[in-house]
Each structure stands twice: as structure tokens, then as C-alpha cells.
Amino acid sequence: MKKVNPIAKDDQFIDSFLRPAAFKDYIGQEKIKKGLEIILKAAKKRNESIDHLLFYGQPGLGKTTLATLVAKETGANLKIISAPSLSRAGDLAAILTNLEDRDILFIDEAHRLNPAIEEIFYSAMDSGKISVIVGKGPSGRIISLDLPPLTLIDATTRVNLVSSQLRSRFGAIFRLDYYANDDIKMIIERSAGILKVKINPEAILTIAKASRFTPRLANRLLKRSRDIAEVNDLKIIKKETVLEVFDMFGIDEMGLELHDRKMLETIIEKFRGRPVGINALAAALGEEKDAIEEIYEPYLLKIGFIQRTPSGRIATDDARKWLAL
């Protein structure tokens, strides 16, 4: 069988193409959609800009997509910025003062905002004004600039690291949960239709099971399955095609990757199944503590392969059975 390049040139375009164009096309997160629709309708009825919003949850669950849909529904321009890129107050002032009436500013990785930058947002969110220093030394002076009505939407994977001062200024805070398996299957079916590829139910189920309950990963696995099917002139994606993708990327049928298996094996074998603290686990794996807590651990907790106890993390019997340890 021919080898296939796992990275498609038009992946970024395809990803944007697969994103829902309206709330009616957005599958899952029903409570959040309902809450947003009420907020949007109320703001439209009052002819006001919408309140500031905070989305939090694991990567790939749709935080950016929701911000995009909010902008589309309100007819607003959307400017997307990553928090670490905001290093100087002058840069932020330039961005804010160049926004137009009722524009939306989307800040990704909000938990990584520089505290000095964050403070500028306080007055922008509270009063629609910012203060900037003009000049240096004794001749420098502070001037107040009026901003057009705007909406700030922040997104984060670590809401506990967002300061209470910033959190308290959002009109609504929404937590994105992992998707239900049935929702993931519907997303795969919808994406397959957009990509004009045929896929059988067993293949859909196989992708869904390994998707880590995350639309982004489900679509990635579907696209790579499409690559293999096209290169090998297959008319339909079957389970065998999907399993070849898993083998190519080192993924098993539960969606576990090498680092997941290494973490479980370390707890079971190196620490002999005893509870292990996060610092000891990070040292044993050669990983940052934050990486374990943000990237690896949430999914393993979700599927019941690890548990947190007062004494530390333990691997469950289900994990042992799956790894045959």
C-alpha cells in the first residue's frame, strides 16, 4: 500500500471550511448555545453591543468557533489575538483604539495575559476608556482615550489561572465540556458530507471512540483517513482505513497516544501502582507539571484510567486491563 503524507497542504483552509457557519449547524454544547442565543437576541433588541464573554475548556472543543459564530450573528468584525503576543501596553492601546463600533476582540490563552496588560483591560471593559502615557520622564503625562463600544471574548484552558479581577468583569462565563459520543459521530458525518467522502458506520464509530470527545481531533482523523482512501483509490472509508491512520500516528483505539501510555505505565510500573504526586510524576516523565495537568490528565480522568486521591494519582483497573499490565 502506498505511503501518504500525513500533512495536507490545504489543512488550514479545510479546518475553517468544516467549522459551522451558524449556530444551527453547531453540534453539541446545547446549554451554551441556548445561553448565547438569549444574550445575542437581548442585545439586538436593545441595540447594544453584547456583554463580555469568557469561554473555558480543553483545547479543540470549539471556543474559537463560538467566538466566530457570535461575530457572524451580530455582524461584527472579529479580531483574534493570542495573549502571549500582547507584551507591551502600547501595542494593546493601538489595537483597542483601532477597533470599530461593536467590534469583537477575541483573546486566546487568556490565562497567560501579562498582569500589566490585563489591568488595561479593566478600564476598557468597565468604562470604555483606557489611559496611556505620552512622553517620558518628568514631561510625561497620562491621557484618557475613549473607545468605541466593543466586546471582549476571552478563551482559556486554565480558568483557575485567570485572575478573579478579570473573571468578575465578564457578563457570562461558559464552560465547554467534552462532547457526547453521539455528537462526535454526527460531527464526523457532517464533515464527511462537506468533504464529499463516503465512510461506513463502523469507521465513524472507530474515529469517534478515538477522538478524545473532541471535534478537532475527530476531524483530523477523518481527514487523514480521507488521504489514505484517495491515495489508494478506495471508494469508501472503512474501519481498516482508520486503523491505518492510528498506526501512522501511534494512536490506539481509545485515542491514547504515546505520552498517555507512558504516563500510565510509569504510574503502574515505576511507582508500582501506589499514589504518586504530581511533582514526582512530572520528574519521572521529564514533563512540565502544567503539561500533565492541562494536556494528558483530563482525558485519562474522563475515561476512568486514572484517579486523583488525597495521596496522589493512581491508575485504575480499567487502565491496567487496556494496557494488559
* Per-10-residue mean pLDDT, the chain, length 325: 44 77 94 96 94 96 96 94 90 88 95 92 91 67 82 95 95 97 97 96 98 96 97 97 97 96 96 94 94 92 96 96 90
Q: What is the distance between the terminal CA atoms of the chain, rounded to a whole angstrom?
A: 33
DSSP letter assigned to residue 276: B
Active-site residue flag, 129: no
273: phi > 0 → left, psi -120 to 50 → alpha, else beta; which? left
Q: Is 108 a catalytic residue?
A: yes
Is residue 83 a contact partner of residue 109, using CB atoms and an 8 Å limit?
yes
Candidate CATH numbers 3.40.50.920, 1.10.8.60, 3.40.50.720, 1.10.15.40; the one for domain 179-249: 1.10.8.60
How does 38-63 read in b/e, with b if 16+ C-beta sit within 10 Å? ebbeebeeeeebbbbbbbbbbebbbb
Handedness of CA 230, 234, 240, 242 (dihedral sign): positive
Query: Is the CATH code 3.40.50.300 the one for domain 29-175?
Result: yes
**Structure confidence at residue 141 (pLDDT):** 67
Q: State the Cα–Cα distance between residues 224 and 241, nearest whole angstrom.
A: 9
What sign results for the dihedral spanned by CA atoms 12, 254, 306, 302?
A: positive
- Choosing from 216, 220, 223, 226, the catalytic residue is 216
Is 74 one of the annotated active-site residues of the chain? Answer: no
> Of 64, 65, 151, 206, which is the active-site residue?
64
Fold of the CATH domain 258-323: Arc Repressor Mutant, subunit A (1.10.10)
Catalytic residue among 63, 102, 224, 239: 63
CB 55 within 8 A of CB 153: yes
Contact (Cβ atoms closer than 8 angstroms) between residue 73 and residue 23 = yes
Catalytic residue among 102, 103, 108, 241: 108
The catalytic position among 65, 157, 206, 214 is 157
Domain parsing of the chain, residue ranges: 29-175, 179-249, 258-323
pTM score above 0.85: yes
Burial group, residue 250, by CB count within 10 angstroms (0-12, 13-18, 19+):
exposed
Q: What is the per-residue pLDDT for 5? A: 40
| Contact (CB, 8 A) for 166 and 121 | yes
Q: Which residues contact 226 (CB under 8 A, 6 or more apart)?
A: 195, 197, 237
In sequence order, the β-bridge partners of residue 146 are: 129
Q: At what angle do helices 201-210 and 239-249 cross, to 10 degrees?
A: 30
Q: In angstroms, what is the C-alpha Rg of the chain? A: 23
**Residue 77 — φ and ψ, nearest 5°?**
-75, 140
Close Cβ partners of 227 (under 8 Å, ≥ 6 residues apart): 4, 5, 6, 8
Residue 321, H or E segment: helix 317-323
Q: How far apart are CA 306 and CA 322, in angstroms?
A: 12
216 tagged catalytic? yes
Rounded Cα–Cα distance for residues 60 and 306 (Å)? 22
DSSP for residue 293: I
Q: What is the pLDDT of residue 3?
A: 44
CB contact set of 35 (below 8 Å; sequence gap of 6+)? 172, 174
- Whole-number pLDDT of residue 186: 98
Closest Cα partner for 166 from 131, 109, 125? 125
